[in-house]
Amino acid sequence: MRVSWPKFLVLVVMSCVGIAASSVVFYLYELLHTGLPYCTSSQKLFGFITVDCNAVLSSPYNNVFGINLDLLAIIYFIVNIVLVCVYAFGPNNLFSKAFKILFGWRFIGLLIVPYLMTVEFVVLKTICIYCTIMHVVILVDFGVITYFFFWGGNDEADEGDEQAMDELPQPRVQNGMVEHSQSTY
């Protein structure tokens, strides 16, 4: 396994929270056509924002090219989990590709969140609690993967560096002098 179990679990749990939030919305609102629990409040946040999932979900902004955003969110989070598993457990020839795709995939999610938040806060002046959960998960998830893989120490990188060092040509000592082979440079 290329990442420690705690890191793996954090990466997967974040996506599971996103799947849960998007699945509740898709199942209850889109398939059963019922209201969502805890999603309507008469109180205003910041003096002008209301909490009303129905207003957000029934808006024309809830579809992209005719595809429901909650369905796209479910797919997004499932792809996250698949990429994390390929990165952690997949064959060596897919490892670096999976990491690059995973980072890029999560970066795409990061780019979409400001648009969705602008629609909710500025255009509609109402938020959906479940959408907000998904936004937070995407933002935190990107922060977590960025930290883990760039500043938090990649577990496999340490082992891979040691293995790579073992495969380098070793210097020879002859007559008290260190000689390096030309392929080293």
Instruction: Dump pLDDT digits (tens) for 52-84.
Output: 999 999 999 999 999 999 999 999 999 999 999
Q: For residue 109, give its domain range.
A: 5-157
The label of the residue with tokens 């990429």 reads 83
The verdict on residue 43 lying in a domain is yes
The verdict on residue 172 lying in a domain is no
pLDDT band at 177 (very low <50, low <70, confident <90, very high): low
The verdict on residue 174 lying in a domain is no
The verdict on residue 97 lying in a domain is yes
The verdict on residue 168 lying in a domain is no
Domain tally, the chain: 1
Amino acid at 183: S
Tokens describing residue 151: 């500043």
Q: What is the CATH number of the domain that holds 126?
A: 1.20.1440.130
pLDDT for 7 equals 86
- Please give the C-alpha separations between residue 180 and each of 100, 166, 169, 172, in angstroms, as whole numbers: 34, 15, 8, 6
The count of C-alpha atoms lying within 13 angstroms of the C-alpha of 109, restricted to the half-sphere facing its C-beta, is 28
The verdict on residue 184 lying in a domain is no
pLDDT band at 153 (very low <50, low <70, confident <90, very high): low
pTM for this predicted structure: 0.78
CB atoms within 10 A of CB 173: 9
Distance of CA 58 to the CA centre of its chain: 26
**Is the model's pLDDT at 136 over the cut of 90?**
yes
The verdict on residue 103 lying in a domain is yes
Torsions phi, psi for 33 (to 5 deg): 55, 45
Those residues whose C-beta lies under 8 Å from the C-beta of residue 167, and which sit 6 or more positions away, are none
The verdict on residue 26 lying in a domain is yes
Torsions phi, psi for 3 (to 5 deg): -125, 155
Tokens describing residue 50: 């209301």
For residue 68, the cross-strand partners are 63
pLDDT for 152 equals 67
